[in-house]
Amino acid sequence: MLSSTTRRRHVIAAAVLAAAAALCTSCSSGGSHQATGPDGITATQVSTEFKAEQQHLTLAPKWVWPADPTPESKGPDGRAMMFGRGYGTTHADFYWMCSWERYYLSPGISTSASDHALAVMKSVSNTEYYKVALLPADQTALDKEISDAGLGDKTVLVKDVAVNCPASPA
């Protein structure tokens, strides 16, 4: 079973490899890189997906959505970046999940707030992040991480959040 840190690293690596493969297939014989293709989307389209998904999600208290979720549109070589369809949606889901994980781990949280946060975290299985971006073994690892936290063992959750989630905005 993969640790949650390994799980997220695998997801990120798979996304990078998929984007690189898609980028290569979109190259013309002249060598120019187009941020187009049947399954590729631009940074602006990623932002559109992200904003559409955030309309269906409620962040944890004191959290706010990024003002501009648009990723870099050009790579280090100056060429247009291409992203896999659904990247914006799964990225919004991931940000949402991180907000609730950090809230759940926040010091001084009441029992009722903790119970609510845990229930919200369990609903991650309804997101595209869970259904599409995670492999079955990674889904199982995340389910266990959340279950263990609910049973009082927050060790893996703490490590996962520290390595993978943005800092609390407050």
Whether the full predicted model's pTM is greater than 0.85, yes or no, is: no
CA 8 to chain centre: 9
In this structure, are residues 64 and 169 in contact, taking their beta carbons and an 8 Å threshold?
yes
Q: Please tell me the least confidently modeled range out of 33-42, 108-117, 138-147.
A: 33-42
Average of per-residue pLDDT across 57-80: 93
**Residue 16, pLDDT above cutoff 80:** no
pLDDT classification of 24: cutoffs 50, 70, 90: very low
- Contact between 81 and 19 under an 8 Å Cβ cutoff? The reply is yes
Q: Token pair of 48, please?
A: 């559109």
Instruction: Calculate helix-pair angle for 155-164, 87-105, nearest 10 degrees.
Output: 130
**Given a cut of 80, is residue 27 above it in pLDDT?**
no
How far is Cα 124 from Cα 160, in angstroms, rounded to an integer? 15
